[in-house]
Structure 1
Amino acid sequence: MDLLTTVGCASAVLLVAAAVALLGVAHHLGLLYQLFHKVEPKSPRHGGELVADVLKAHGVRFVFALAGGHISPILVAAEKVGIRVVDTRHEATAVFAADAVSRLSGRIGVAAVTAGPGVTNAVTAVKNAQMAESPLLLIGGAAASLQKGRGALQDIEQLSLFRTLCKACISVRTVRQIVPALRRAIATAQSGTPGPVFVELPIDVLYPFHVVEKEVGGPKSARGLRGKLVQWYLQNYVRNLFAGAWESRDITPLPVKVPLATEDEVGFVPPALGFWGRFGWVQRCAELVSRATKPLVLVGSQALLPPTPAEELRDALEALGIPCYLGGAARGLLPPESPLLLRHNRRDALRDADLVLLAGSVCDFRLSYGRLFGRGAVIVAVNRDRAQLLRNADVFWRPRLAVQGDAASFVVGLARRLRGFSCPTEWMQRLREAEQRKERANR
């Protein structure tokens, strides 16, 4: 009896294991999904239409591209919905142009390149967007997923090229994944510290069912068990590609998460202690500035990122009344005649300042890796990116306050806290005189 019970239990376990394995295979092949989601073999629609719809919903006005067969449905559909397709003569140019649109408009810049060499040609421009912290979407064509590694046209491993350059690398495997993948990619590009994202769209998710079935689906008839199994597998692969493809999906933008440097922003002081907590960081900085006799502000490119308008940041700097050096994209934020704007003698000014606010500026080669600050100077650093925030802080300098957050919103909050603050006249006059001497010497 015990033996029969044992055998029965073992059989039950084996049956359950087999059932679980079969369910796993069915899930992997998309059989379960196809049971509940419609496949429309006669539909003329294609994945390029979904791409265009998502881009349109996100306010995209331009797609920069060098046309290729792998991405043609995207370009055709984009023009139909009113998105201007700008054809370039090199893929790097397409990405550079998308980067420029992003910087000038504050919206996501979009470039589309064909598979293989089209993708590799874009690498330098994508790195440029990463360094500039530009929100950019690069759409890359690719060989059909089933044909990857089998000698398909222009088939190379593309995701690995961009993993160190992009905030996210996504490969879409079915038509139904296009919309959620693009929404997630665009939100990722714009959230936190902005940057490029790469979305790989294989050719078989972009063309209509009848085209993909002809190219990938295999022969209509097959001989032998092996041939019939291969035929079934290929036909099921195509059906799974399009299962639920045209169901209604939300294409509106996902929330963009920007770390605004408000009173409740998380920060740490000093970084060597590794101490994190919620403090009034703007208030703490205001206290430090109010005690300073020789304050200085360095504004970097990151301070010009959305959502704070440049005009609001400019007004905040003028309200603070602290001398400023502007770098990168921040150049031009203050008018040339502004008494706060400094262009010369930065090394001497940093050496003499007793408080320096790094608003999006980074202690890299431009600040001699942090070696320019005077001994005992109070350094307040604000940056969305923690690595940039503490660049070389363990070597040549150490911030009194280090706030991981948006530099522009921090400056705006600081100006509100310091209403009535007046920068010491002697310090202002000293810097202006040094500026004028340098101007005369340069004539």
Structure 2
Amino acid sequence: MPPLNAGALVAQVLKQAGVKNLFTLCGGHIAPIYLAAAKMGIRVIDTRHEQAAAHAADGWARQTRSLGVVVVTAGPGATDAVTGVANAFFANTPMLVLAGAAPVKESDRGALQEMNQIELFKPITKWARRVTEPDRVGEYVAAAIRQATSGLPGPVYLELPIDVLLAPINAEEMSRQHSLFAAEPSAASADGIMIAASMLNSAHAPVILGGSNLWWGEAHEAFEKMAAKLNAPIFLNGLARGCIAPAHPLFFQHARKEAFKQADVVVIVGTPLDFRLGYGKFNPKAKLILIDKTDTHFGQNRNHDVGLAGDLSLVLQELTDAIHPVALRQEWFDFIKQAEQKTHAELEKMMQSDALPMNHYRLLAEVIKFIDDKTIVIGDGGDFVACASRVVPVLKPGNWMDPGPFGCLGVGPSFALAAKLAKPDHKVLILHGDGSFGLNGMEFDTAIRHHLPIVSLIGNDSGWGQIRNPQVALLGEKASIATDLAETRYEKMVEALGGYGEWVEKPEEVVPALKRAFSMGVAGCVNVRIDPKTLRGTVDLMRGLSI
């Protein structure tokens, strides 16, 4: 038996932390890690590109509320992962990036794939370090895990040169137990709770919005109880979709803009006032209460009246205890229902259209017939996914995933791999734009090799519609430069990789095709022709980016 090395120590600490999977693309600088991890029972999922591996680690963390781990080799392996790490950074995903590097003893000598990787990752991680002493490898891996999962979570970067990984480690070091998770639940200040409660108790037209940290903090039940006691309309974004049932009497989907314009108190829980919320440029007279795990973004873009930071379940419970129950807000709800119904009626016309090619909403009407509460839907596209976010109901917490605030296309296959690993009893459906499918479509090979039967439904409008439509609307039909694609038969590519594929043109063909795809037991692709002119005439360049 070969002597234990520091690569095995890395795997041992991951095992102690409860890591079940790591995502990688093989490389000589990191082989000691993934070889040892496999021996210790950690499943190694090897992708076709390091960006996809990083997205998969991000997706695993989001779906399981636990640490995601990606292992990438030196030089181009590390640079390939940058986009995936950046996407996780802006989504506050707890992720550990383990990167190989050239030998310490060959530093600054022009070694293979030698470069300053640390400086590349510092702007897109919470914490970035390089280990040069083998006997400190376990200590550094444990510290990285604590950094990724404490406070405001996020990706961290740990660089491990190959000569450090190959250094022998004694059995005593391998058996050492490390302190891995330091965070303890914390409550908000009592004064802040009372001020917020006073504002809500005097509110006539309050509104509440929940964001992704509701999901991360498992706080949706406390959130619903607070909203019910206050009798306030609820809106959701990001990973919070599904945290309130679509049929809940307080839940609304289409009237957020109108509600925020007229509200006298706005409560934002678990998300910043970034572009998705118009940078807080809603009713300037409204009182603003911010509630989140940390106060990192409090005061960004707009002054707030009260900020409550702490464990979301605890904070929401304390606030619920302090507010008075309200039985009825008839006038306020009538106003919001009217705005909701107006938008719904406009969308319903498109969802019932018989015109061919199908418009985006007509295709989604068929998707709605197919999904159930054990279907995880992953949005990876521009206009098609923006439309889906408006009409596709999310029936359970965790059943919706999208890129997040960075708006990175290409996450779909990787997120789907991770979701299927996390919840093998669920159907995993990617809603793909044809442009975004091309970014990481080769990950269907990964899905097939690892026996993960995910399915992509492509809304194929032969172009980058979200960019093409405003270009053409502003400058005319000839201005579709750099936005047109061919009507490519992507399903045949999936078939060539060993999966299942179908081409669809009519609404009545969609559900049967999806049923067949999911029944095959392999990864599949249903490629659907949709009308490229559905959303023509719209000139809002930010359309769809606020999902």
Q: If you compute each CA radius of gyration, which structure gives the higher value, 1 or 2?
A: 1
Alignment-derived partner of residue 344 in structure 2: 439
1:321/1:423 contact within 8 Å kept: yes
Aligned mates of 1:136, 1:124 — CA distance in 2: 14
> What secondary structure does 1:428 align onto?
helix
1:247 aligns with 2:206: no
Pick from 138, 149, 159 the counterpart of residue 179 of structure 1: 138
Rounded to whole Å, the distance in 1 between the matches of 2:102 and 2:171 is 19
Match of 1:366 in 2: 276
**Helix, strand or coil: the match of 1:170?**
strand
State whether structure 2 residue 222 is matched by structure 1 residue 305. no
Is the alpha carbon distance of 1:314 and 1:82 closer, same or farther for their aligned partners in structure 2, counting shifts above 3 Å?
Answer: farther
Query: How far does residue 401 in structure 1 lie from its aligned partner after superposition?
Result: 0.8
CA distance in 2, matches of 1:344, 1:309: 23
Unaligned runs of 5+ in 1: 1-41, 210-241, 265-278
Matches of 1:422 and 1:144, distance apart in 2: 68
Letter in 2 for 1:321: N
Partner of 1:389: helix, strand, or coil? coil
Which amino acid in the other structure matches residue 297 of structure 1?
I
Matched-pair contact (CA < 8 Å) for 1:259–1:384? no
Cα 1:419–1:178, aligned 2, differ >3 Å: closer, same or farther?
A: farther
| In structure 2, distance between residues paired with 1:85 and 1:248 | 21
Paired residue for 1:415?
Answer: 320
Give yes or no for the alignment of 1:402 onto 2:328.
no
**1:253 Cα shift?**
4.0
CA shift at 1:424, angstroms? 2.3
Q: Secondary structure of the residue that 1:183 maps to in structure 2?
A: helix
1:439: Cα distance to partner?
1.5
Deviation at 1:112, TM superposition (A): 0.2
Task: Answer yes or no: is 1:346 the counterpart of 2:272.
Answer: no
**Residue identity in the other structure for 1:125:** G
Cα root mean square deviation, aligned? 2.2
Identify which of 329, 348, 358 aligns with 1:424.
Answer: 329
* CA 1:246–1:149: 2 relative to 1, 3 Å: farther
How many Å apart are 1:315 and its aligned residue? 4.4
Q: 1:312 to 1:370 in 2, by over 3 A?
A: closer
Cα distance change, pair 249–318 in 1 and its aligned pair in 2 (3 A): farther
Deviation at 1:349, TM superposition (A): 0.9
Matching of residues 263-274 of structure 1 within 5 Å:
263-264=188-189
Paired residue type of 1:322: A
Give, in angstroms, the shift of residue 296 of structure 1.
Answer: 0.4
Describe the superposition over 1:244-284 as per-residue Cα deviations: whole angstroms up to 9, x where unpaired.
78436643443432673x243xxxxxxxxxxxxxx432222
Cα distance per residue 1:131-166 (max 9 Å; x no partner): 111000000001111211111111110100011111
- For residue 513 of structure 2, what is the aligned residue in structure 1? none
Please state if 1:81 is matched with 2:7: no
- Equivalents in 2 of 1:259, 1:54: separation in Å? 24
Counterpart code for 2:343: K
The whole-number CA distance in structure 2 between the counterparts of 1:258 and 1:390 is: 25
One-letter amino acid matched to 1:120: T
Measured in 2, the distance between the counterparts of 1:316 and 1:71 equals 48
Gaps of 5+ in 2: 349-547
Mapped contact 1:63–1:84 kept (Cα < 8 A): yes
Identical aligned residues as a percent: 36
> Cα distance, 1:320 vs. partner?
4.0
The number of residue pairs the alignment matches comes to 348
Cα distance in 1 between the residues matched to 2:58 and 2:223: 22
2:292 is equivalent to residue 292 of structure 1: no
Please state how far the C-alpha of 1:295 moved relative to its aligned partner.
Answer: 0.4
Which of 319, 324, 327 aligns to 2:237? It is 327
Report deviation, 1:106.
0.9
Residues 423 and 72 (structure 1), Cα distance of their counterparts in 2 relative to 1, 3 Å cut: farther
TM-score normalized with structure 1 length:
0.74
Counterpart CA distance in 2 for 1:314 and 1:48 is 46
Partner secondary structure for residue 123 of structure 2: coil
Between the aligned partners of 2:43 and 2:2, the Cα distance in structure 1 is 26
**Deviation at 1:117?**
0.7
Which residue pairs with 2:153 in the alignment? Answer: 194
* 1:296–1:195 distance in 2 versus 1, CA, 3 Å: same
Of the three residues 192, 210, 220, the one matched with 1:281 is: 192
Indicate if the aligned counterparts of 1:53 and 1:251 stay in contact, CA closer than 8 A: no
AA in 1 matched with 2:89: Q
Determine the structure 2 residue equivalent to 1:379: 288
d(CA) in 1 for partners of 2:156, 2:255: 39
TM-score, structure 2 normalization: 0.60
C-alpha displacement of 1:344: 1.4
Contact 2:188 2:310 in 1 (8 A): no
Which amino acid in the other structure matches residue 369 of structure 1? Y
Find the aligned partners of 1:292 and 1:315 in 2 and give their Cα distance: 17
